[in-house]
Amino acid sequence: MPWKDVDMMTLRQEFVSLALQEGVNRRALCERFGISPKTGYKWIERFTLEGQIGLQDRTRRPLQTPMRAPGPVEDQVVALRHKHPTWGGRKIRRRLLDLGHTVVPTPSTVTRILHRHGLIEESASERSTPWQRFEHAQPNDLWQMDFKGHFETGKATCHPLTVLDDHSRYNVVLHACSRPNGEFVRQALVDAFRLYGLPLCINADNGAPWGSSSKHEHGITKLTIWLIQLGIKISHSRPAHPQTNGKEERFHRTLKADVIRGSHFRDLDETQNAFDQWRLVYNHERPHEAIDMATPVTRYRPSRLAYPERLPQVEYSASDMTLTVGWNGDIKFHGHRLKVSSALQGYCIAVRPLQDRDGVFDLFFSHQRIGQIDLHNHESKA
C-alpha cells in the first residue's frame, strides 16, 4: 500500500532508521513498507547525506530544527524540558548529544537547571528510582501486548492497544481502538506483522480477547488460535502478577504521562494522530534509561519471519495421536471426557504421552500445549 501524505514523514523516518540497522534486508523492508527499492534507497541516501531534513519533499520549505538556534546551554535544557515535560536530566543530556551539541552539561547539572526553573516537583524525584527487569536477548523474541485501560473522547471511548518489543522497548503497535475485542486486535496485528514480521512469542494478560481468567495457563480464544496457526507461541501473565508484562506497564505509565493525562481529543482520529506523533518521539528520539539511554530504534530489527497472507495449515507428526474437538469444546480419550475450549470446536489437536509418567498425556494445538490428561486419577485439565 502506498504511503499516505499525512503519514509521510513518520514513515520515512521509521523506514530509514530500520534500514540503516546492521543486517537488515533492505529490499524486504521496502516491500513491507509498500515502496519500491528505488524509492527506499533514495530516502536512505538523502538521510545519510542530509539527516532528517533530507526526508522532506524537495518542493517543501525545510522546517527549522528545534536546537539549531544559538543560545545558552540553560535555554536549550529548558526548551527540551518544555517540549518533553516528563524527561529528566539523563534523557535531556543524551538527547542534546544526539542532536549534535558538543558542550553538554552532566545529568546532575541538567537536573539542577530544571529545579532552578521550577520544572521538577519533589514528588517526581522520589518516584524516579530505577529498577532492573529481565529482557530477552534479541528483537522479536518476545512482544508484550495489552490494552491501556480506556478513556473518553468527544465522540467515542478509546481503548489504546499497545504492543512492545521486549528486547529493544520498540513500540510496535499503538492503536486507538473503539472496542477491546479480537477483531480490532487482529487487524492491528496484521498491519504490524506486514511491516515488522512475526515475533517468536507474544505475552498477554488473562483477559479477553486473548486469555481466560479461569484458565490462565493457556486461555485459548479465536485470537490466540489465529496467532498459534501463524507459528507464534502464546504466553500469559499469572493472575495478579502484572509485573510479568512489566515493560508494557511501564510503557503505559509513560504514554499516560506524555499523551493522555490532561488532554481532550475530539474523536478517535485525533487521538490516533496524537499517538502517531508521540510514538515517533518514543521510538526515535526519547533516550530510554533501561537500555543505557539508547533509543529503542537503535536496538530493534524487523523480524526475518515474514507474515504469510495465507494462513498455514496445522500439521502434526506421524507419531501423534490426534483428536477432533467436538461440540462446546469437548474431547473424549480412553473414557475420559474433557473440555479444552469451545473456540477449538472442529480443530484437530494432538495427544502426546509423557515419557516419564505412564498414563499421562499432554494436549497440543499445533506447537502450543493446552492441557493434560491423567488416566490414573482423573485429574485431567485444560
Query: Which amino acid appears at position 134 of this protein?
Result: F
Q: Are 69 and 78 in contact (CB under 8 A)?
A: no
Check whether residue 256 and residue 286 sit in a common domain.
Answer: yes
Check whether residue 191 and residue 261 sit in a common domain.
Answer: yes
258 closest CA partner among 236, 244, 239, 277: 277
- Give the count of domains, the chain: 4
pLDDT at 322: 94
**Ordered per-residue pLDDT tens for the chain, 382 residues:** 444 444 666 788 889 999 998 888 999 999 988 899 999 999 899 888 888 888 887 654 444 444 333 346 888 888 888 888 888 888 888 898 888 888 888 888 888 888 777 777 644 544 454 444 567 789 999 999 999 989 999 999 999 999 999 999 999 999 999 999 999 999 999 999 999 999 999 998 877 787 765 554 456 899 999 999 999 999 887 655 555 567 888 899 999 999 999 889 999 999 999 999 999 999 999 998 888 889 999 999 999 999 999 999 999 999 899 999 998 889 988 888 888 888 999 999 999 998 878 888 999 999 999 888 888 765 555 5
Distance CA 281, CA 238 (A): 32
b/e sequence 319-358, b meaning 16+ C-beta within 10 Å: eeeebebeeebebeeeeeebbbbebbeebebbbeeeeeee
What are the cell numbers at 201? 512469542
pLDDT at 341: 87
329 closest CA partner among 375, 382, 377: 382
pLDDT at 61: 45
Check whether residue 160 and residue 209 sit in a common domain.
Answer: yes
Check whether residue 18 and residue 45 sit in a common domain.
Answer: yes
pLDDT at 194: 96
Domain extent, residue 45, equals: 5-55
* H-only helix segments in 167-241: 182-196, 222-229
Domain-located, residue 306: no
Domain-located, residue 291: yes
Q: Running DSSP on this structure, what letter comes out for residue 306?
A: P
Which residues is 331 bridged to in the sheet? Answer: 338
Check whether residue 122 and residue 148 sit in a common domain.
Answer: no
Say if residue 199 is preceded by a cis peptide, omega within 30 of 0.
no
Which residues is 161 bridged to in the sheet? Answer: 147, 175
Domain-located, residue 313: no
pLDDT at 311: 92
Check whether residue 120 and residue 86 sit in a common domain.
Answer: yes
Check whether residue 147 and residue 270 sit in a common domain.
Answer: yes
Check whether residue 85 and residue 110 sit in a common domain.
Answer: yes
Distance CA 297, CA 164 (A): 12
Distance CA 138, CA 300 (A): 8
Domain-located, residue 183: yes
pTM: 0.74
Check whether residue 331 and residue 366 sit in a common domain.
Answer: yes
Domain-located, residue 281: yes
Domain-located, residue 137: no
pLDDT at 2: 47
Rg of the Cα atoms in the chain: 24
Per the document, the length of the chain is: 382
Which residues is 236 bridged to in the sheet? Answer: 204
Exposure of 272 in the CB half-sphere (CA atoms within 13 A):
14
Q: Are 363 and 373 in contact (CB under 8 A)?
A: yes
The three-class DSSP label of residue 252 is: helix
Residue where a domain stops, chosen among 126, 156, 188: 126
Which residues is 163 bridged to in the sheet? Answer: 145, 173
Check whether residue 162 and residue 105 sit in a common domain.
Answer: no
380 closest CA partner among 371, 147, 106: 371
Distance CA 157, CA 10 (A): 26
Check whether residue 150 and residue 290 sit in a common domain.
Answer: yes
| Per-residue CA distances from 85 to 58, 118, 119, 199, 254 (Å) | 33, 12, 8, 33, 11
Which residues is 160 bridged to in the sheet? Answer: 176
Check whether residue 46 and residue 163 sit in a common domain.
Answer: no
pLDDT at 67: 37
pLDDT at 6: 43
Q: Which residues have CB under 8 Å from 292's CB, separation 6+?
A: none
Residue where a domain stops, chosen among 250, 266, 299: 299
Domain-located, residue 305: no
Domain-located, residue 132: no
